[in-house]
Amino acid sequence: MATADLGKKPQQRRRRSGGGQYQRSLYQIAKAINSTRVSGEVPQALLRGAAEAMGAKGSSLLLLNPERDQFLHIAAHGVSETFLRKGPLRVDDMLVKLLAGEAVAVEDAQSDPHVQYPDELKKEKIRSFLSVPLRLWDEVIGMLRVYTTRPRTYPPEAIEFLSAVADLGAVALENAKAYEALQQEVDDTRQELLTWYAERRAAQENPKKPVRFAHPSEEEFARLLDFYKIRWDYEPRSFPLVWVGDRIVEMFTPDFYLIDHDQYIELTTLKQSLTTRKNRKLRHLRELHPEINIRLLYRRDYNKILAKYGYAPLGEVGAETPGRIVFTEAEIKDRVAALGRAITEDYAQSPPVLIGVLKGVAPFLNDLMRHINLLVEVDYLAISPFGGEMPGGVHFLLDASLDLRGRHVLLVEDIIDTGMTLRYIIEHLHRREPTSLEVCVLLDKRARRLLESPLRYVGFEAPDEFLVGYGLDYHERYRNLPFIAIVNPAELAAPVGAKQAS
Ligand code: IMP
Ligand code: MG
C-alpha cells in the first residue's frame, strides 16, 4: 500500500490514515507552536496544522468580543480575505453551544437554515465546517474552525483532535504573550542597566564637571548630601532680581538644588553681621518667585549639622559638657505615656509593628512600648552614620526582620533634624509594602528641616540646639542620661577646677 499512498496528495493520505495520523499531526503542531515565542506566529502554526491534518480547505481562529456576543476573526489559513471580511459571527442558538464548551458542526451548509453568511460561504465554496471552543483555563475565549469543500460528518476522533489542537493553541498563545511581556521586562531592565553604566562611565571620565565650590563648607555639605544619596546640582540657576532697563544688575544664585525634592539651599557661612544683605536678597527672590522653595542655612545651622556628626563646632571631643536640661526625666515620662495612650487608641483595630531606629531610640522605644496596650510587634533597624570610613553612602547596618507586607508600620525615631535620615528610611520601608506607614518621633527639631515628611506623633518640639541624653549622643556619650540636655561646647564648659569642686 505504501506505493499507492505515495501517489496521492498529502491531504488525502492524512485523512485516510485516521487516528494514528491525528496523533502524528498533533505532535507536529505542538512542536511547531512550541518553537515560536512570537504570539503572532502561534495561530499560523495551529491553523495550518489543523487544516492539513483534517484534509480541510482552510481554517480560522476567532476570538469572543468582551461582551461575549460575537466571534471575531483574528487569523485564517486557506480562505480568502473577502471571506474573512464578511463580518463577525453572532452568538446565535447554534454558536451558544460553543460557549458551553461543545463542538459545533455544520455537515452541509447548503441545507442548513441556521448558517450565518450563506452567500459568502457559497462564494468561498465551503460546504461544511467544524468548530471547537478555544478555552483558557475554564473559560471559552474563542473558537477554532476548519472548512471543507464537501459535505462531511465528523467522527469523535476528528472532534477530539481539533479540540486538542485548540487547547494547545490557547495555552501557547497565552505563553507567547507572557513570554513577550517577560522579554519586554528583560529589555527594559537591560536598558536601565546600560543607561546606568553609561552615566557611571561618563561620571568617571569627566568627574562631575569638577564643581568649583566657593567655600569649603559647601564641599562638606555636598559630601553630606552624597552620603544620604540626595541628588544635587551646584549653583544650577541664577534668578534675576534687579533690572536697569533690560539689563540685569542683580542676581541670586542659590548654592544647591536638591533635584528630587525641588528644593534650593543657600548656605551662608558669612558672619552673622554680614547676612542682612543676603536676607534682603532672599526676601526679594521670594517675592519675585514665590514658586521656588528655598532654604537658607546660616553658619550656626550648618555648624550644628556638622556637630551632629562629630565635627569640630562643639570643640574637642571630651571637652564638652552636658549643659542646661531641656526636658526633665518627669516631663519625658509624662509625654511618652501620653504618646503610648494615643497610639493605643489609634491602632486599637490593627496593632502596629513598631520599628525603632537604633541606637538613639532605645530608651524611648523601651518606655513607649510599655505604654501601648496592644499586641504590638517590635523590630529595629540601623543605618550607617555619616563621617565614618564606610564607603558607598548611607546604607542599612540592620534591617527589620519581620515581614512588613500588609502590616501597619509605625516607625519610631529619637529626633528628626534635617529629615534626611528619615526620608531615606521611609523610602526604604515603602518598598516593603506595608499597608500604612506612620512616624512617631520623640523630638522634632523643626528649625533646620530640609526635607519634610509627615510626622504622626511628636513628643516635643526641640530647640535648635545640639541635644544629648535619653538615647541621644555626642560621640556615643551621654545616651544614658535620664533627661535631655543641651551640650555646652568646650569653650563654654565649666573650667576643670569648678567641675571637680561640684
Ligand atoms: P537628620 O537626618 O538630620 O534628621 O538627623 C537625624 C539623626 O541625627 C537622628 O536620628 C540623630 O541620630 C541625629 N541627631 C540629630 N539631632 C541630634 C541632636 O541634637 N543630638 C544627637 N543626635 C542628633
Ligand atoms: Mg537617630
Q: What is the 3-state secondary structure (H, E, C) of 61-99?
A: EEEECCCCCEEEEEEEECCCHHHHCCCCEECCCCCHHHH
CB-CB contact of 179 with 120 (8 Å) = no
The mean pLDDT value for 330-336 works out to 97
CB-CB contact of 162 with 169 (8 Å) = no
User: Cα of 499 to ligand 1 centre, how many Å?
Assistant: 28
- pLDDT of 390 over the 70 cut: no
Q: Name the band, by pLDDT with cuts 50, 70 and 90, for residue 187.
A: confident
Q: Provide the 8-state DSSP code for 477.
A: B
Sorted by sequence, the CB contacts under 8 Å of residue 42 that are 6+ apart come out as 33, 36, 169, 172, 173, 176
The mean pLDDT value for 399-409 works out to 95
User: Is any ligand 1 atom within 6 A of the Cβ of residue 442?
Assistant: no
Q: Domains of the chain (ranges plus CATH)? A: 2-184 (3.30.450.40), 216-297 (3.40.960), 322-491 (3.40.50.2020)
Probe residue for ligand 1, chosen from 261, 304, 306, 308 as the CB with the greatest number of ligand atoms within 8 Å: 308
Give per-residue pLDDT as tens, 79-111: 988 888 888 899 998 899 999 999 999 999 988
CB neighbours of residue 333 within 10 Å: 14
CB neighbours of residue 242 within 10 Å: 13
Question: How far is residue 117's CA from residue 487's CA, in Å, rounded to a whole number?
Answer: 92
Give per-residue pLDDT as tens, 435-462: 999 999 999 999 888 899 999 999 999 9
**Cell for 408?**
501597619
Residue 3 has a pLDDT of 35
Sorted by sequence, the CB contacts under 8 Å of residue 365 that are 6+ apart come out as 354, 356, 378, 412
Q: Is 199 helix (H, G, I), strand (E, B) or coil?
A: helix
Q: Name the band, by pLDDT with cuts 50, 70 and 90, for residue 392.
A: low
Residue 207 has a pLDDT of 58
User: Is any ligand 1 atom within 6 A of the Cβ of residue 83?
Assistant: no
- pLDDT of 259 over the 80 cut: yes
User: Is any ligand 1 atom within 6 A of the Cβ of residue 172?
Assistant: no
Q: Name the band, by pLDDT with cuts 50, 70 and 90, for residue 13.
A: very low
User: Cα of 417 to ligand 1 centre, how many Å?
Assistant: 5
pTM over 0.85: no
User: Is any ligand 1 atom within 6 A of the Cβ of residue 152?
Assistant: no
Q: Which atom of ligand 1 is nearest to the CA of 474?
A: 21
Q: Which residue has the higher pLDDT, 321 or 418?
A: 418
Q: Which atom of ligand 1 is nearest to the CA of 360?
A: 12
Mean pLDDT of the chain: 84
User: Is any ligand 1 atom within 6 A of the Cβ of residue 419?
Assistant: yes
Alpha helix positions (H), 155-262? 156-205, 216-227
Q: Which atom of ligand 1 is nearest to the CA of 448?
A: 3
Q: Which atom of ligand 1 is nearest to the CA of 468?
A: 20
Question: How far is residue 175's CA from residue 214's CA, in Å, rounded to a whole number?
Answer: 60
Sorted by sequence, the CB contacts under 8 Å of residue 449 that are 6+ apart come out as 416, 417, 418, 419
Q: Which residue has the higher pLDDT, 418 or 209?
A: 418
Residue 274 has a pLDDT of 67
- pLDDT of 431 over the 70 cut: yes
- pLDDT of 493 over the 50 cut: no
Q: Name the band, by pLDDT with cuts 50, 70 and 90, for residue 304.
A: confident
User: Is any ligand 1 atom within 6 A of the Cβ of residue 472?
Assistant: yes
What is the total residue count of the chain?
A: 502
379 is annotated as an active-site residue: no
User: Cα of 356 to ligand 2 centre, how many Å?
Assistant: 9
Instruction: Report the percentage of the chain scoring pLDDT > 70.
Output: 85
Q: Which ligand is nearest to the CA of 357?
A: 2
- pLDDT of 29 over the 50 cut: yes
- pLDDT of 225 over the 50 cut: yes
Residue 268 has a pLDDT of 83
Q: Which residue has the higher pLDDT, 171 or 156?
A: 156
User: Is any ligand 1 atom within 6 A of the Cβ of residue 115?
Assistant: no
- pLDDT of 322 over the 70 cut: yes
Q: Can you name the residues that pair with 283 across neighbouring β-strands?
A: none
User: CA dist 89 to 3, 47, 62, Å?
Assistant: 44, 19, 9
In the chain, what are the helix, strand and coil shares in percent, each to the nearest 5? 40, 25, 35
Active-site residue identified among 367, 414, 417, 444: 417
CB-CB contact of 237 with 243 (8 Å) = no
User: Is any ligand 1 atom within 6 A of the Cβ of residue 441?
Assistant: no
Give per-residue pLDDT as tens, 205-224: 665 567 888 888 888 888 88
Instruction: Report the percentage of the chain scoring pLDDT > 90.
Output: 45
User: Cα of 439 to ligand 1 centre, how many Å?
Assistant: 15
Residue 19 has a pLDDT of 64
